Structure 1
């Protein structure tokens, strides 16, 4: 990957006149048919939240000298294909060829501040902001052109960077219309957008252009980024969360390891800068072996984890209460079940990496953080710097969904770069550090109770959830980044972060007249934060497993039982679709098919999942044969990207369901590598079939987190149908199946 110089917004605008891209205008030569203006319609709905801080067109897109478009988005590419989706909506609204729209993602001072990339919100926030900004830009270009050409707007055609009069055949390029300025018009309702029936790109399966570079092994990720004269660094991690440095003996370091540039000791933060990466690895090992630390606070016994969670949890908070659950439960037959989920890791295939360079005035940082503006605030607090003097450029990482160690690696690099100015300093984490210091998805307990009425419908439901924080993402609170906790004047987190994610989807989307949901929050022994789908994974695993239990008690087919409790036709449609997808499947002895349904957050996308498994009754091994999903995200922007997200999410969820858990004893976390923290192997990945229900008249919703929660329940239900063993505690291992 070639290092690209940083551009401020001011320099970005200044340089517009020097950018040239070769192109051919549609209709510019006699052999090309002149385009017809597509029908348009007024959008009067709610503007996206991202537009709250970026209301003008030029915050979202710039028109270059040649009429091509550069779109600006504050979201980062995580493998979800957001760059391509944004390119599609911008090209659509401005009637451009796709290749004439480039998308610039996540760079402070250049792109809008859109907070974090997460919560399956990039499509409805960033892509829709670009849509409305592009539509507003189109209208403004037509208005300005009508004045310059002395004609009415209805006489004009706009396509591929030009505006042309149908009568006089005179035309102007976008650059001639704007005369060196950008469009600062505020986006206000109503927005005149293209009629979905006229789409050229939106809703189509447009492939991501970056995939070919990945397949060819080109430098794509931050781990590949190199700068001239760049130095390498490692950080000496404490033996535990609460350990503090007592002493460090550097004697002999330079004798044992060549290329030492500098050792940095700031309280209990210890880093070493070297000429080459392997020298940094050896230096870190030497310093770790020659350092003395305080003994960390012990962990609870792993076998007592869930009892410990209940012991330390705060009194319950009622987050939903409808009807009178207690009154219905009195005298009724109550069905109960308890489900658990262990701590799980982001388990990024590439350990975290961060690069920084301080030129004496500006601190430049390159990071695969999922929130460069919030991270800038954390760094500014930690380093006592003005945030405007920190410039962060997002570079893709090896992939994860949620709050990984990317921000921590960037903070490490920033601290070390300040100690050695005018040189790029690269910090590459080790696999062991990645596994040990990752902000895990928290362990959870979900207890469910329900009763059925005389018609075998659920008439009362109660959920009790025990959960730690599901987001301690970086922000102005410097304690959210790891390095800040070990400085001479350490920063500790000012709050517990976002607790509400723990009871996400704990209230069934089904029609149940009496319902109570209580949340019990606990401050656990491990570092935790956002992991794909937050508490939905545990809660939907529990709920949809329990729905199968209740269906069996009611003597009904599990899918029909669900449909009987739904009034939303879109919800019913995805269930019926997955029912159709699996209708011709036969199962042999030891095989089973299981189902699950969810509407994510009870407000966003709909999904129904099916899984077919085979269980070896001798050794308890459960193998995935095939999985299906039927999905409704409203308007589909990119069919290919959406399908990929669903497939990938189901496979990741299958790995969590069957394999993954953080292991530990009272003194240390023991799952330090892939042998001790196994994930689903390529050979274990089943065929996955995804059916998308496109509803172009409905609001577009994201899908990144949607497939994860119901997949776990579908697999658990399939295992029960295959061998008659119901497993309540994740992961579903062979031992648990044999002992059930």
Structure 2
């Protein structure tokens, strides 16, 4: 989104605007130049309880929506526009969306947790419905027609019986509504939806297809210079000396910046900064504080436990295990993952007249604003973060860290600074998805049913909060609420009605790398262990995996998604493993299910796999998904999410793993950290269960949670070998086959 140059005047009434009117320039150049913007003096409301914070109606009949949630390439911008257009009775092409600008948008929380529609979209819906109700009331007073005899259509309020109406702009004579959002307002009856629930073309795709979209990596600011950060050779190494003369002969080098262990080179041109960063002479101390990778799981087990979270307790699991006709035990582990964003992180920052402006692809601009304020000593009101979509952004990757780099350097050189991370920066220094280790026990009764279930999850300590910025840490600057990501204990508890259950999460005092949110954090790892181990129970009972789940599931919506995925996958009831294991390439199918966080979005999946017993290579030619996320805004957008979740998670399950030595990450490129390529992308077959009268739930994460277990279960079905350690590499497959 092009950042408009704003002043107090431009934020006031313009020809009958509800709140503001300003130019929304098209993103039609590969490198978009952004004019410098002030960060103080704004009069637009941003409080989350004000209608004016969320929308503006212009004299031209167009609406502008202000969303604190941002589009990471998932179609949220389009969905937000649909929601607002629906409630305001406007054509979709007359609605624009401003995202993640801390001076213009309310703080709706970070864009994570599949809450963009469930929370952010619902807040915009309530704001739009509140505005529409007030406009109808004003039209009633002007026209002398009762409220219930009026209707809204095409940006105007008209008598239902016919006759002249009033455009929205005519009903706003004072420039604002000054109205609080009514969370209990009557929103539009789903039976009257014209846009919501319909597939519409995404707003962002045409510019992307034509190569005209402005990503964060394309942003340019007048007077801007370029910088590269020189990273320590080991994560905890200290900077002992710098030879600034080593880059004196490179034309265009402006400054070598050193603050504590933070070291960077600033230059007029980007290539000069790249060259200087590689040539700069620096001496660092030794540091070997990481565990040995081949002893990672021993390290996890030995890590101090700060507390235990009892996430479910039903009956007496330990006593029931002692009485069971048969007991099973297994341990599952999930490797450390990096985000691996295709476009390395980037940011531009300018510090001028005591005001800091940062252009960033952060999906948590309001939280980043506080972090930048803390590290620079500025008041939060003197910091403005402007969201620009990144070429590769999800979870909490390196974009916030690049913003911290840029802010520190902008202060050091007094000019706007662009920091572009390298591939090695991205893989080596972005926060990581932490290692997860799960121990499980189950007791079966004489009929093979689960009579007892006990599980222990080894996960990092922490609650939802900011991950500390690398620049602040290296430079010894203040941190703002540095905590590990929360909610990683979700889905450790089970959705099934077993009589005796105890699930415990051991919260670990430390983890090898900065922990961060990576798509479906915790829920993926926990669901993987639970659903794969449940499959072990079904196999021990000689039961069909689908029937085994259905007999223990009491939730009608959960049953519906399982039955639907079985239908689209052509599921044939039988126990696993398959009877025929002849030939060099073995084929199987596996099932998995989740009720996300046990309170929203139901997903079931079936993976089809091919296992080459000679090479150990696994392919997933097809993956079937059925999902119920309540009211669907844009079915095509939801299918995009399902496709993306499956493809990315197949990659994570089959091949992705951070490698490291005692000093730092060694998987610094695509050769050492491979991801899935087009020939191995599975065909994804989806079925959506739309419930228009229900609340909308998230679709960005839940379907990823089912993928690891479905693949693991399919491998067992094909081979009789159980894989319990992600990623399922050829070496692990061959070892498991030898052990069967």
TM-score over 0.5 (shorter chain): yes
Instruction: Give the CA deviation at 1:459.
Output: 1.7
- Deviating more after overlay: 520-529 vs 371-380: 520-529
Counterpart of 1:309 (choices 289, 297, 300) is 300
Q: Structure 1 residues 315, 63: CA separation in 2 closer, same or farther (over 3 Å shift)? A: closer
Q: Structure 1 residues 633, 232: CA separation in 2 closer, same or farther (over 3 Å shift)? A: same
Residue 136 of structure 1 corresponds to which residue in structure 2?
Answer: 130
Residue 629 of structure 1 corresponds to which residue in structure 2?
Answer: 625
Counterpart of 1:680 (choices 669, 676, 679) is 676
Instruction: Give the CA deviation at 1:67.
Output: 2.5
Residue 367 of structure 1 corresponds to which residue in structure 2?
Answer: 360
Structure-1 separation of matches of 2:52 and 2:464: 32
* Structure 2: runs of 5 or more not aligned: 25-44
Instruction: Give the CA deviation at 1:666.
Output: 2.2
Correspondence list, 1:577-592, <5 A: 577-583=564-570, 590-592=586-588
Correspondence list, 1:99-110, <5 A: 99-110=93-104
Residue 555 of structure 1 corresponds to which residue in structure 2?
Answer: 542
Residue 323 of structure 1 corresponds to which residue in structure 2?
Answer: 315
Q: Structure 1 residues 718, 112: CA separation in 2 closer, same or farther (over 3 Å shift)? A: same
Q: What do residues 359-386 of structure 1 show as CA deviations (whole Å, max 9, x unaligned)? A: 2232110000011111111111110001
Structure-2 separation of matches of 1:441 and 1:542: 16
Instruction: Give the CA deviation at 1:484.
Output: 0.6
Instruction: Give the CA deviation at 1:168.
Output: 7.1
SS in structure 2 at match of 1:612: strand
Structure-2 separation of matches of 1:98 and 1:279: 46
Instruction: Give the CA deviation at 1:157.
Output: 2.9
Structure-1 separation of matches of 2:355 and 2:309: 48
Work out the number of aligned pairs and report it: 700
Structure-1 separation of matches of 2:232 and 2:5: 34
Q: Structure 1 residues 466, 185: CA separation in 2 closer, same or farther (over 3 Å shift)? A: same
Correspondence list, 1:68-467, <5 A: 68-166=62-160, 169-255=163-249, 257-287=250-280, 290-314=281-305, 317-319=308-310, 320-332=312-324, 333-421=326-414, 423-467=415-459
Structure-2 separation of matches of 1:450 and 1:584: 26
Q: Structure 1 residues 296, 20: CA separation in 2 closer, same or farther (over 3 Å shift)? A: closer
Q: Structure 1 residues 189, 667: CA separation in 2 closer, same or farther (over 3 Å shift)? A: closer
User: Contact 1:607–1:707 (CA<8 Å) still a contact in 2?
Assistant: yes
Structure-2 separation of matches of 1:327 and 1:9: 69
Q: Structure 1 residues 470, 351: CA separation in 2 closer, same or farther (over 3 Å shift)? A: farther
Q: Structure 1 residues 190, 494: CA separation in 2 closer, same or farther (over 3 Å shift)? A: closer
Correspondence list, 1:567-606, <5 A: 567-583=554-570, 590-606=586-602
Correspondence list, 1:696-711, <5 A: 696-711=692-707
Structure-1 separation of matches of 2:47 and 2:694: 25
User: Contact 2:344–2:392 (CA<8 Å) still a contact in 1?
Assistant: no
Q: Structure 1 residues 710, 470: CA separation in 2 closer, same or farther (over 3 Å shift)? A: farther
* Structure 1: runs of 5 or more not aligned: 22-50
Instruction: Give the CA deviation at 1:76.
Output: 1.1
Structure-2 separation of matches of 1:520 and 1:190: 40
Structure-1 separation of matches of 2:88 and 2:482: 45
Please report the TM-score for the alignment, with normalisation by the length of structure 1.
0.91
Structure-1 separation of matches of 2:535 and 2:99: 44
Q: What do residues 662-713 of structure 1 show as CA deviations (whole Å, max 9, x unaligned)? A: 0112233210100000011111101111100001121110111111121111
User: Contact 2:601–2:627 (CA<8 Å) still a contact in 1?
Assistant: yes
Structure-2 separation of matches of 1:582 and 1:11: 56
Structure-1 separation of matches of 2:267 and 2:46: 44
Counterpart of 1:656 (choices 652, 655, 659) is 652
SS in structure 2 at match of 1:192: coil
Instruction: Give the CA deviation at 1:556.
Output: 1.0
Instruction: Give the CA deviation at 1:596.
Output: 0.4
Instruction: Give the CA deviation at 1:230.
Output: 2.0
SS in structure 1 at match of 2:426: helix
Structure-2 separation of matches of 1:682 and 1:537: 23
Q: Structure 1 residues 7, 564: CA separation in 2 closer, same or farther (over 3 Å shift)? A: farther
Instruction: Give the CA deviation at 1:646.
Output: 0.8
- Deviating more after overlay: 163-172 vs 260-269: 163-172
Structure-1 separation of matches of 2:345 and 2:523: 26
Counterpart of 1:497 (choices 471, 479, 484) is 484
SS in structure 2 at match of 1:544: helix
Structure-2 separation of matches of 1:385 and 1:82: 32
Structure-1 separation of matches of 2:188 and 2:661: 59
Structure-2 separation of matches of 1:669 and 1:480: 18
- Deviating more after overlay: 328-337 vs 369-378: 328-337
Q: Structure 1 residues 11, 20: CA separation in 2 closer, same or farther (over 3 Å shift)? A: closer
Correspondence list, 1:638-649, <5 A: 638-649=634-645
SS in structure 2 at match of 1:595: strand
Structure-2 separation of matches of 1:498 and 1:5: 33
Instruction: Give the CA deviation at 1:546.
Output: 0.9
Q: What do residues 331-371 of structure 1 show as CA deviations (whole Å, max 9, x unaligned)? A: 32221110011100111001000001122232110000011
User: Contact 2:77–2:203 (CA<8 Å) still a contact in 1?
Assistant: no
Structure-2 separation of matches of 1:730 and 1:281: 36
Structure-2 separation of matches of 1:10 and 1:572: 57
Structure-1 separation of matches of 2:665 and 2:542: 45
Q: Structure 1 residues 10, 380: CA separation in 2 closer, same or farther (over 3 Å shift)? A: farther
Please report the TM-score for the alignment, with normalisation by the length of structure 2.
0.91
Q: Structure 1 residues 470, 240: CA separation in 2 closer, same or farther (over 3 Å shift)? A: farther
Instruction: Give the CA deviation at 1:188.
Output: 2.4
Counterpart of 1:521 (choices 507, 517, 534) is 507
SS in structure 1 at match of 2:403: helix
Q: Structure 1 residues 294, 472: CA separation in 2 closer, same or farther (over 3 Å shift)? A: farther
Structure-2 separation of matches of 1:67 and 1:321: 56
Structure-2 separation of matches of 1:18 and 1:606: 41
Residue 524 of structure 2 corresponds to which residue in structure 1?
Answer: 537
User: Contact 2:460–2:484 (CA<8 Å) still a contact in 1?
Assistant: no
User: Contact 1:78–1:400 (CA<8 Å) still a contact in 2?
Assistant: yes
Q: Structure 1 residues 674, 97: CA separation in 2 closer, same or farther (over 3 Å shift)? A: same
